[in-house]
Amino acid sequence: MTRLGLIGGTFDPPHIGHLIISQEALAKLDLEKVIFVPAGRPLFKGRVVTDATLRWEMLNLAVSSNPNFICTRKEIDREGPSYTVDTLKTLEREHGHNSGIYLIMGMDAFLDLKRWKEPEEIISLCHIVVAKRPGYERSKVADLEKALPAIRARYTLLDTPLVDISSTSIRRRVKEGISIKYLVPETVEKFIEDKGLYRGQNSG
């Protein structure tokens, strides 16, 4: 059975936290590849997201040194808002029902899963891999299990090196003129500098 990891997001910009979580999932869950899926028109964002072409270029730079990481334009090229459930359905058609798809996400996204489009369908199409974060509340996970009972047998909590990095904090640092060295790959750092990204926009 093909075992594929899937990690989505705006990747605005991609950072080492994305790479560390993906590598841990790859190694600990014996995945063949991790597929990075940048969102085309992301939902729940209260700000202007960087143009998809630029985010695509940054993401490819970020993963280029790892032969087990690949990127797909499935959500960028799809018309309309980006929905994870549609991407999962497409992957199932492409790889067959016997493929094992492991959807990788952070704890915050996991706890918000009930707000996603067709959460029950998402649960049926994949196994969810949740990167722990410091101080997460078990009671909130219990609330999610109560709201989506089927999820109880469909997720794994992944122990990863605890790297408290977010794209929001990186955009803010660039805007304030603070170095982002070692927070993103060097190639991404240079791309951000060369393109003048995040210097004048809302960092929220």
Distance from C-alpha of 16 to C-alpha of 102, rounded to nearest angstrom: 20
Q: Is residue 107 one of the residues assigned to a domain?
A: yes
Q: How many domains does one find in the chain?
A: 1
Q: Is residue 203 one of the residues assigned to a domain?
A: no
| Alpha-helical runs (H) found in 78-129 | 84-95, 107-111, 119-125
Q: Is residue 151 one of the residues assigned to a domain?
A: yes
Judged by phi (left if over 0) then psi (alpha if -120 to 50, else beta), residue 4 lies in: beta
Distance from C-alpha of 140 to C-alpha of 109, rounded to nearest angstrom: 12
Render each residue's pLDDT in the chain as its tens digit; 204 residues. 789 999 999 999 999 999 999 999 999 999 999 999 999 876 655 678 899 999 999 999 999 999 999 999 999 998 888 899 999 999 888 887 667 999 999 998 999 999 999 999 999 999 999 998 766 778 999 999 999 999 999 999 998 887 788 999 999 999 999 999 999 999 999 999 999 999 975 444
Distance from C-alpha of 66 to C-alpha of 21, rounded to nearest angstrom: 13
Distance from C-alpha of 162 to C-alpha of 116, rounded to nearest angstrom: 26
Question: What are the percentages of helix, strand and coil residues in the chain, rounded to 5?
Answer: 45, 15, 40
H/E run at residue 157: strand 155-158
Q: Is residue 148 one of the residues assigned to a domain?
A: yes
Q: Is residue 75 one of the residues assigned to a domain?
A: yes
The boundaries of the domain holding residue 188 are 3-195
State yes or no: cis peptide before 185, omega within 30 of 0. Answer: no
Q: Is residue 174 one of the residues assigned to a domain?
A: yes
Q: Maximum CA pair distance of the chain?
A: 49
Q: Is residue 201 one of the residues assigned to a domain?
A: no
pLDDT in tens, 165-186: 899 999 999 999 999 999 999 9
Query: In Å, what is the CA distance from 122 to each residue of 39, 61, 99?
Result: 17, 29, 15
Distance from C-alpha of 1 to C-alpha of 84, rounded to nearest angstrom: 22
pLDDT in tens, 112-135: 999 999 999 999 999 999 998 766
Specify the CATH number for the domain of residue 142: 3.40.50.620
Residue 60 neighbours by CB distance under 10 Å: 17
Q: Is residue 200 one of the residues assigned to a domain?
A: no
Distance from C-alpha of 96 to C-alpha of 196, rounded to nearest angstrom: 42
